Amino acid sequence: MKKIQVLDVTLRDGGCVNDFNFGQAYMDRILDALEQSGIEFIELGYIDQKKGTESGRTQFCDEQVIEKHFLKNKKEGITYVAMMDYGKFDVDKFHQRSESGIDGIRLAFHKKDRMSIVEVGRKIIDKGYKFFVQPMITLRYSDKELLDLIEMVNNDIPDASGFYIVDSFGEMRPNDMERVLNLVDHNLNENIPLGFHSHNNLQMSYSNAVQLLQFPTNRELMLDSSIMGMGKGAGNLNTELLLEHMNLFYGKKYNVFPLLEVIDKVINQIHSEFYWGYAVEYYLSSINHCTPSYAGHFYNKHMLSVGQVSELLGMIAEEKKISFDSEYAEELYREYNARKELDDEKTIKELKEEFANKTVLLIAPGKSIRKEQDKINAVLGREDVISISLNHFNMFNTDYVFITREDVFGKAYENRRRMIVTSNISTEETRFIKVLDYKKRILVENGTQDSSGIIILNILKEFNLERIILAGFDGFSTNINKNYYDRNMRHPVTVEQAASRNKYFAGFVMRVREKVPVDFLTKSLYEEVGADEN
């Protein structure tokens, strides 16, 4: 029977979820559970010269701090490894391997750097470490390119401890597995183990792993997995599921229960704060063959339909798909939404005249507007007030609905509501639709913001208004049931996203107040953040 081994990546790939901030106590508990499970390989984290730290995180500044602060009592029969991305650490700085330190280095690299890995690999091996070849996004290699890489490894690094097929974007299907497995197995030096690292964007990690296990070869096989699938985006193959499968069908004696215990006591706590797992945006990234960071970036704006996000992902240049570029993503997003341009100066002038010396009531869709309906209706009834609801219109009969979302526009149009819309939604000027230039109006304080509240406030602060009153601007909570009056509007936000959005909007309101008085009619987290800032 072929030799099959499991390599757990929870502490490394899982660290991409929480910026590697496990904390020492959680790091120790995860490592202990993995050691008790009986798996053969444990990946302790990343080695990164610039971003790494000494302790408390699994992104380390060098290999020495792993031994000093984390790997204090190695267990017999387990190989301890760390990963480094090509170019992120000067391998000349590695010390000679010691028996009490890590045993191996996994080198992840993009296709463009493949011809440079031999020198790195030889230096790592010469220092006494096992060396694993990890060609990221293996599907991006043509057959010839992959064969050339294999030939180079066979000739120049024949003592490599593993050669991996890496499904970085979770896009591999059974036909891909069959093709690549045959290609690698029939050409790779028979003494080099074949590994598989997957992501679960299409929920194929488990079935692809089973296909590898059933592949007719006598070669040693290695399978990567993580506890509860913890990993960036859609996550990875679940270690606990893989071990149970191996026990049932391959005569293994792994102990799954320590992993279940650490899921209950540790991983569930992390999962409640940092989400990973199957989601629409990760499916979209897979079918568009790009890093899931783009899909997450566009999807988390909550301004585009799923179809629009997919269309936008399809516009990404091929050379940009491999690594996320935030500036490029924002430029592409603006370009996509600003493809309908117009001159809105006449519309702005008309609104200025209509709103002159008035109080404007802005009603956002926060949950508080249900509780405070009477208070809001009292302001709506005043003759000196012009009311605008933001991306919703069912609760109150406001003078205008300000719309930046296509799904809201269609319903408001059917109901013949008076609207102010941005040009990414419509350029149709009618007696009940006023259109603003999207590209121009999202420019806020030398940056771009397409939040409906920020866009409309940025416009209104230049009007000669008596006052602006805010209702339903509740702010963001990680408890999605607290954020919107309409359950259909709910979407998850992380602690970091909620804090960042609340802080930005609170500061923005303070700057608007320098030009026009702004009052909150309903309770808001923005007020609390603003008070803390003062």
How far apart, in Å, do the first and last CA atoms of the chain sit? 69
10 Å CB burial of residue 112 (0-12, 13-18, 19+) is exposed
Q: How far is the C-alpha of 250 from the C-alpha of 34, rounded, in Å? A: 19
The alpha carbon dihedral of 25, 31, 32, 33 has a sign of: positive
b/e sequence 65-100, b meaning 16+ C-beta within 10 Å: bbbebbbeebeeeebbbbbbbbebbebeebeebeee
Q: pLDDT band at residue 346, thresholds of 50, 70 and 90?
A: very high
pLDDT band, very low/low/confident/very high, at 2 (cuts 50, 70, 90): confident
DSSP conformational letter for 196: E
Average pLDDT of the segment spanning 455-473: 95
In this prediction, residue 489 carries a pLDDT of 76
431/458 same-domain check = yes
Mean pLDDT of 39-59: 96
Other CB atoms closer than 10 Å to residue 231's CB: what's the count?
29
**CA gap 2, 369 in Å, rounded:** 64
Q: For the domain that residue 70 is a member of, what is the CATH number?
A: 3.20.20.70
**Is it the case that residue 93 has pLDDT exceeding 80?**
yes
- How far is it, in rounded angstroms, from Cα 177 to Cα 198? 11
Is the same domain home to 300 and 168? no
> Do 173 and 107 belong together in one domain?
yes
Token output for 486: 């309409």
In the numeric block, which tokens belong to residue 194?
Answer: 């074949």
If asked whether residues 267 and 297 sit together in one domain, one would say no
174 and 65: one domain?
yes
Q: Is 190 found in the same domain as 333?
A: no
Last residue of a domain, one of 252, 273, 294: 273
Predicted confidence at residue 375, as pLDDT, reads 95
Last-in-domain residue among 258, 273, 288: 273
Residue type, 387: S
Same-domain pairing of 264 and 180: yes
Residue 279 near residue 494, CB atoms below 8 Å: no
End-of-domain residue from the set 273, 293, 325: 273
From start to end of 417-491, where are the E strands? 419-422, 433-436, 443-444, 447-448, 467-471
pLDDT tens, residue by residue, 480-513: 778 888 877 777 777 888 888 899 999 999 999 9
Residues 172, 60 share a domain: yes
DSSP string for residues in 105-123: EEEEE-GGGGGGHHHHHHH
Q: Which residue has 């293996």 as its token pair? A: 138
Query: pTM here?
Result: 0.76
Provide the pLDDT for residue 531: 57
Find, among 12, 78, 8, the residue nearest to 48 by Cα. 12
130 and 54 both lie in a single domain: yes
Average confidence (pLDDT) over 387-405 = 93
Structural domain count, the chain: 3
Tell me how crowded residue 523 is: count the other CB atoms within 10 A of its CB. 16
User: What sign has the CA pseudo-torsion 110, 116, 120, 121?
Assistant: positive
Which of 25-29, 346-350, 407-411 is the least confident region?
A: 407-411
Pair (221, 313) in one structural domain: no
Q: Which domain holds residue 421?
A: 345-533
Pair 368, 300 in one domain: no
Instruction: Return the structure tokens found at 432.
Output: 């009940």
CA distances from 472 to 170, 304, 389, 522 (A): 40, 22, 10, 6
166 — pLDDT class (breaks 50, 70, 90): very high
- Give me the torsion for CA of 486, 492, 495, 500, rounded to 10°: -70
Query: Tens digits of per-residue pLDDT, 329-345?
Result: 988 888 887 766 678 99
Q: Would you list the DSSP string of 23-59?
A: -HHHHHHHHHHHHHHT-SEEEEEEE-TTT-BSSSSSE
User: Which residues, at least 6 apart from 191, have a Cβ–Cβ distance to it below 8 Å?
Assistant: 158
The DSSP symbol for 267 reads I
Quick one: tokens of 503? Answer: 């802080």
Per-residue model confidence (pLDDT) at position 328: 94
Return contacts of 449-455, CB within 8 angstroms, 24+ apart: 450/301, 450/303, 450/337, 450/404, 451/505, 452/364, 452/390, 452/391, 452/402, 452/403, 452/404, 452/405, 453/362, 453/364, 453/390, 453/505, 454/505, 454/508, 455/402, 455/404, 455/422
The answer on 148 and 130 residing in a single domain is yes
